[in-house]
Structure 1
Amino acid sequence: MAAFQRRKAQRLARADGSRKGALDARAAPVVRLLNARAQFCTTSSCSGRLVLAQGHAAAARGCAVQKKDCAWLLVTHELCDRDHVMTALEKATGDVVLKFEPFVLHVLCRELQDAQLLHSVAIDSGFRNSGITVGRGGKIVMAVRSTHCLEVPLSHNGKLMVSEEYIEFLIHLANQKMEENRRRIDRFYKRLELALKTAVSTNNLPAEEMEKNCSVYVHRRKRKTIREQGVRTSPKDHDEELQPEDDPESNLDIFAEMMI
């Protein structure tokens, strides 16, 4: 616990190392809500953005992604229109890709149960690519991620490879994704706020009641896993398999490998 507080203090004391140098306005409420809690510390975030990224043709043909050779012709965290994109494309001299990147958030968590709470809220809010990683040193990181990305090449060596009509279609699609992204962020914030309040109330329950609630959660989680895998077992088998695990390493595997 002391190690976590030390990591949090060091992290929050750092200068913002992003290109923007500040929090995105739409992500700020979530970041502040989490950092105000003793058990969480955000390490990086982006509210979602539309980017025209230009790379050199030689780098594009390589296997590795070379971010150092990448230039942003356009980046916005808001809805975009055709004129902005076409104006930016006029500057193209290399290979240009249009990207929509949804909301992403990485949170350092004090305990596994804290990461589990965030994971549950993220999944319920539509961020279905979220997951938990546990480092060898006990560092627990919860990543809030979504799958509704967009990445389409537009030009090669400065030459536009698609029609303007197709670009307009892509912009419309990207704006739709941005609007959905905003709805998910709002939903995540509201559900997170409620979940944190509920967690405080639960922590004030007697130890026997907290143990009962934990057992019910584990029982439901394993029953859902069995149902999704299509495993047919007898009622007796269910009773045996659905008991809470006593081995902490087993519980660690359940959440560390949970990537939806």
Structure 2
Amino acid sequence: MDRSAEFGRWKAQSLSKADLSRKGSVDEDAVEVVELLNSREEFFTTSSCAGRILLLDGSTDGSGVQKQHCCWLLVTHEPCAKDDVMTALKGATRDAVLKFEPFILHVQCRTLQDAQTLHSVAVDSGFRNSGITVGKRGKIMLAVRSTHGLEVPLTHKGKLMVTEEYVEFLLTTANQKMEENKKRIGRFYNCLQHVVKRETISNSHSKIKEKNNPLCTHKNKRSPKKALDPSTADDGGRELDGGHGLEISATLFLGDD
């Protein structure tokens, strides 16, 4: 099957599925980014979270291993107040943990070059932990993410182990991280808009040039001389659109689709 057609089929299937997240819809701060990516033929999003503050009870088994079945005492995508956390902590019976989870977005990309271009946008916007994976079936996924999270245990067997003053300090830190997270999402969206606009104009000019000049050849058609010269190869080390003139490198991991 043609790779472009197969990508289109994957995109149609993914976007037609129901949202299985707890909220059941895209977070407000991530809507513009998600809609812009899904409007492009070279991308579609598979999951996203704009960033949130969580209070989970029984989130670990004591050894730091995440447990599947835990109680959500509080979740918010907005700045959080100490009184809200202290009220929620009254429902804790196990080991409650306060967490801030930053923006994360998973995007399937049509080609590796598309993924590299988007990876550059993500890194330039502050999401420096972003990475690309290539599945066994050729699915190319980009995870947009950063490292400025927060995770602090507050109770043990339902007993509060810290002072209210410390809880207030943690929330000040978490709220600051939330504000910085929103700024990074804004930078990502603005940068993405510029890249999309530039590539649209570039593609348009390229088509006009080819139509008006029958001698114009596609980039992937090289002369025999260039084909024999490895120093002129198109693959690897090529500057990518949206890379601001810089080479883009990304570690690739072979994973399951």
Fold in common (TM above 0.5): yes
Tell me the residue number matched to 2:181.
181
Give the match for residue 88 of structure 1.
88
Distance 2:146 2:132 in 1: 14
Whole-Å separation in 2 of the counterparts to 1:52 and 1:195: 38
Q: How far 1:119 moved relative to its partner? A: 0.3
Of residues 2, 5, 9, the one that matches 1:2 is: 5
Q: Which amino acid aligns with 1:31?
A: V
What amino acid does structure 2 have at the position aligned with 1:177? K
Cα offset, 1:255, TM superposition: 3.4
Amino acid at match of 1:105: L
Matched, 1:23 2:18: no
Deviation at 1:71, TM superposition (A): 1.2
Answering whether residue 31 of structure 2 is matched by residue 36 of structure 1, we say no
| Cα deviation code 1:1-36 (max 9, x no counterpart) | 111000000001100000111110010110000101
Structure 1 residues 218-237: aligned runs within 5 Å: none
Q: Which runs of 5+ in 1 are unaligned?
A: 213-240, 249-253
Percent of residue pairs identical = 57
Letter aligned with residue 47 of structure 1: A
Alignment length (residue pairs): 225
What is the root-mean-square deviation in Å for CA atoms of aligned residues? Answer: 2.7
Aligned-partner Cα distance in 2 for 1:244–1:94: 62
Between the aligned partners of 2:218 and 2:183, the Cα distance in structure 1 is 33
Which structure features the higher share of helix residues? 1
Partners in 2 of 1:245 and 1:201 — Cα distance? 26
Alignment of 1:19-168 (within 5 A): 19-55=22-58, 60-62=61-63, 64-67=65-68, 69-168=69-168
Q: Deviations over 1:138-194 (max 9, x none)?
A: 100011001100000000000001111110000000000000000000010000011
Question: How far did residue 201 of structure 1 move?
Answer: 2.3
What per-residue deviation string (whole Å, max 9, x for no partner) do you get for residues 102-130 of structure 1? 00000011111111111000000000000
Alignment-mate amino acid for residue 89 of structure 1: L
For residues 61 and 174 of structure 1, the distance between their equivalents in structure 2, rounded to whole angstroms, comes to 23
One-letter identity of the residue aligned with 1:74 = L
Q: Is the 8 A contact 1:98 1:153 kept in 2?
A: yes
1:39, CA displacement in angstroms? 0.9
Shift of 1:202: 2.6
Distance change >3 Å, CA 210–CA 96, structure 1 → 2 = farther
Deviation of 1:197 (Å): 1.0
Specify the SS of the correspondent of 2:29. Answer: coil
- Quote the residue 2:250 is aligned against: 255
- 8 A Cα contact 1:49 1:77, kept in partner: yes
Q: Is the 8 A contact 1:52 1:72 kept in 2?
A: yes
- What is the CA–CA distance in structure 2 between the aligned matches of 1:47 and 1:148, rounded to whole Å? 13
Contact 1:53/1:71, CA 8 A, preserved across alignment:
yes
Q: Secondary structure at the match of 1:26?
A: helix
Query: TM-score normalised to the size of structure 1?
Result: 0.79
